[in-house]
Amino acid sequence: MDFREDVFFHKLAQTSPQAYNIAIERAEGIYLYGPDGRRYIDMISGIAVSNVGHRHPHVIQAIKDQLDKHLHVMVYGEFVQSSPNRLAEKLTSLLPPNLNCCYFVNSGTEANEGALKLAKRVTGRTEIIACKKSYHGSTHGSLSVSGNETKKNAFRPLLPDVSFIEFNNLADVEKITRKTACVIIETVQGDAGVRIPSAEYLRALRQRCDEHCVLLIVDEIQCGMGRTGKLFAFEHFGVVPDILTIGKAFGGGLPMGAFVADQRLMKTLTYDPPLGHITTFGGNPVCCAAALAVLEVIEMEGLLEHVEAKGKLIESLLQHPAVREIRRIGLMFAIDFESAELVNQIVHYAKEKGVICYWFLSHPHSFRLAPPLTITEPEIREACALIQEAISWALAHPSK
């Protein structure tokens, strides 16, 4: 009764004409289970959310412990609470010294909204530079700095004074000037199909921002929290952002995001006007408890140490003559094929075989993989064998 499709399709707003449409009753580790007991291997972690696996015992215990104390008691920034305090102390201890002050919000897109406001407030400038093919979220500000024009046109007018440069194009860095408030960039472009920049590019970007007193916002909503083998992907490239945005995997399955900067920057949101940024549920104590537990799991279980080896194994097991390219950093994959139709068939057949792969919004010739960091070698081998079966089936049954 609870899993009726007529309710799902008519009482819940739909995001596309073709929902993935499987019923899920429970989840554990890398597995999802339907009400009929059917098991699915989750090779996308709910789109890079369940990095420590579904319902990790340490995360669940932290949530239960906080539930026994209190839930929401006040809007963000008014009451002193143990859970957000402990999370802020832990998170900033893992970051460079200038990223020492956290503003907790409810999602990644909200983190980007706050970061954009902060950059304008600090610099007194209005120009925002973003990258073509980027994705930063679906709220108005985040959508304004995302690079998919097809997704934006129906919702104009969006933020003014936004311009776009080519990702990983050194020459375009010169477009950053004294009029620019901030540059917002994904360390690794996710929705564009896992586009990995050169260290030279990111360092040039950092230098140009420094020369013109421009704030660099680094969006690690998808590629952060250990996904690339570092806690944050910017650690691979020898650059440090002025503002870091976090979401997705941060809450361990609960809605959680943050923007992090130096306290001297954050203080500008407290006056002229007061409450320069405010949220009712940001810093929710239960979500903060879960996020702290996620950081503890990554540390306690040494998850970062095994990401690259697991990524290499998956890459080796997915070699196939029909695969045009595999782009990968850590356990973040885009697997390219000749057509969107072929990708669609592979994803749907894999679903029938009990493996969840998924599409990219802006790069239909690839499917994505982003399994939990906790996935084991036997689980990798089972999942990859089924994906190979899906590829072979799709090639043998071309769509008409």
Residue 152 reports pLDDT greater than 70: yes
Mean pLDDT of the chain: 97
CB-based contacts of 373, cutoff 8 Å, min separation 6: 51, 52, 53, 226, 227, 298, 303, 304, 306, 307, 310, 331
Single-letter residue type at 330: G
Strand order in the sheet with 332-336: 325-329, 332-336, 366-369, 358-359
Q: Tell me the mean pLDDT in the region 136-164.
A: 95
Residue 399 reports pLDDT greater than 80: no
Instruction: Report which of 292, 269, 245 is spatially closest to residue 84, judged by C-alpha positions.
Output: 292
Total Cβ atoms within 10 A of residue 398: 10
Which contiguous run of DSSP H or E holds residue 65? helix 57-67
pLDDT of 16 reads 87
Total-model pTM: 0.97
Q: Tell me the mean pLDDT in the region 378-396.
A: 97
Write the class of the CATH domain 303-371: alpha beta
pLDDT of 1 reads 59
Q: Tell me the mean pLDDT in the region 155-162.
A: 97
Coil vs helix vs strand at 126: coil
Residues 85-129: pLDDT tens digits? 999 999 999 999 999 999 999 999 999 999 999 999 999 999 999
Residues 217-249: pLDDT tens digits? 999 999 999 999 999 999 999 999 999 999 999
Label residue 400 by pLDDT band (50, 70, 90): low
The whole-angstrom separation of Cα 131 and Cα 344 is: 27
Tell me if 222 sits within 8 A of 186, measured CB to CB.
yes
pLDDT of 361 reads 84
Single-letter residue type at 356: I
CB-based contacts of 228, cutoff 8 Å, min separation 6: 188, 236, 307, 329, 330, 331, 332
Q: What is the DSSP letter of 237?
A: T
Residues 256-272: pLDDT tens digits? 999 999 999 999 999 99
Pick one of 3.40.50.300, 2.40.30.10, 3.40.640.10, 2.40.50.140 as the CATH number of 57-300: 3.40.640.10
Residues 308-320: pLDDT tens digits? 999 999 999 999 9
Residues 180-209: pLDDT tens digits? 999 999 999 999 999 999 999 999 999 999
Instruction: Report which of 156, 219, 226, 159 is spatially closest to residue 191, judged by C-alpha positions.
Output: 219
The domain ranges of the chain are 57-300, 303-371
